[in-house]
Amino acid sequence: MSDPSATLDLFVRGIAAGAMAATALGVWGSRVSPQARWVTLAMGLSTIAWLVTESSMLFGALGRADVLLAMAYPVGGLFWLFISTVFEDRPVTPMMLAPPVTLLVLGFAMGSGPTQGLDPIWMTFNAVAGLFVLHSAVLIVRGWRGDLIEGRRRLRAIVLGLVAVFALAQVLIAFVSRTDPVDPARMFMIARPYGGAIFAALILAASALFLEARPAVFGAARRAESAPDPRAKAADRILQEKLDGFLAAEGWRRERLSIGALAGELEVPEHRLRRLINNRLGHRNFADFLNASRIEAAKVRLADPRDARTTVAAIAFDLGYGSLGPFNRAFRAATGSSPTEWRRRAFQTSPDLQETD
């Protein structure tokens, strides 16, 4: 007679894998960017492989499933890539593929090493995976306040944060179980029925919310309107006028400006300001809203001969950036080139100008 708990575990994992597959295929079939499609599909397949390979019964029935192991190894890095791409609106670059590729290489190295004890490769693999998941959690929390898409904010707060906590707990429990094989926390590992059931519940919740919020989460930003919609409510028109005044006064230059602080200054509820910036101006997060004005001002200054000896860093700080890194990333995302490259091209017709970077 088969073990009821094992049978139930197989059933739960099958349901979770089906939900994950439905989510990935739903995103793939929708009108979203190719990058969002590929990243979501890769994370979905890797998560399914993780569910299967962590089940001794399923993995044993499949025999030597090296392909599934290879798919499961980078799950932590792919989760980080998914959060960065879909929730932080960052384009996929070769450098952003480093986390999943690193875990894949370490996974293959780990698979050829010893299986007992805290061997260095096993420890490195799990520590690196844990760091990627930890950074994913930081991104989820840090970007919540400035996220202008309500459906995406709910996903951050309710589901994805819990998924990140669960994944971190798996790393910690794995380290503990290697030193203490009888530790009771082992029952909450994904390889055990309790851990598998918890993870399956999280996947089902995430899949339901994702399919509900998919158009908002994955939809492209709208183009900014040249004038307020005449059918808009009077309150929204007043708020638009206040926001226009803020932009005209170059309030976006202030460092560490938050949407909460701006809502307080404009004397409007934060959710109304968030909705207006997203629906009317087409920005998906508050940083993108600020960057729209800051990058336009930066392009003007970088091409101005009078600023030829002003460093790129000084221009960035003057425009409200706290450090050079975020300015460089935002500028490249908006223009396709670095600030230095932009300035060099602008001065090509005046070779006697000596710009200082």
CATH number of the domain at 341, please: 1.10.10.60
Print the domain residue range for 302. 234-346
SS3 147: strand
The answer to whether position 356 is within a domain reads no
Whether 342 is covered by a domain: the verdict is yes
If asked whether residues 173 and 252 sit together in one domain, one would say no
> Residue 114 domain-assigned?
yes
Mean pLDDT confidence for 288-308: 91
Residues 251 and 341 in one domain: yes
pLDDT grade for 115, boundaries at 50, 70 and 90: low
> Is the same domain home to 172 and 198?
yes
User: What integer pLDDT is reported at residue 3 of this predicted model?
Assistant: 65
**Do the domain assignments include residue 92?**
yes
SS3 251: helix
Q: For 220-232, what is each residue's pLDDT tens digit? A: 555 444 444 554 5
* C-alpha span between 109 and 281 (Å, rounded): 49
Q: How many domains does the chain have?
A: 2
The C-alpha R_g of the chain, in whole angstroms, comes to 24
Instruction: Specify the pTM.
Output: 0.80
Residues 241 and 321 in one domain: yes
Q: Taking Cα atoms as reference points, which of 155, 179, 32 lies closest to residue 83?
A: 155
110 Cβ neighbours under 8 A, 6+ residues apart: 121, 122, 125
Query: Which two tokens mark 272?
Result: 């109304």
**Does residue 242 sit in the same domain as residue 212?**
no
Can you spell out the DSSP letters for 281-315? T--SBHHHHHHHHHHHHHHHHHT-GGGTTS-HHHH
Question: Same structural domain for residues 96 and 168?
Answer: yes
- CATH number, domain of 196, equals 1.20.1070.10
Q: Are residues 125 and 257 in the same domain?
A: no
Q: Which residue has the higher pLDDT, 325 or 26?
A: 325
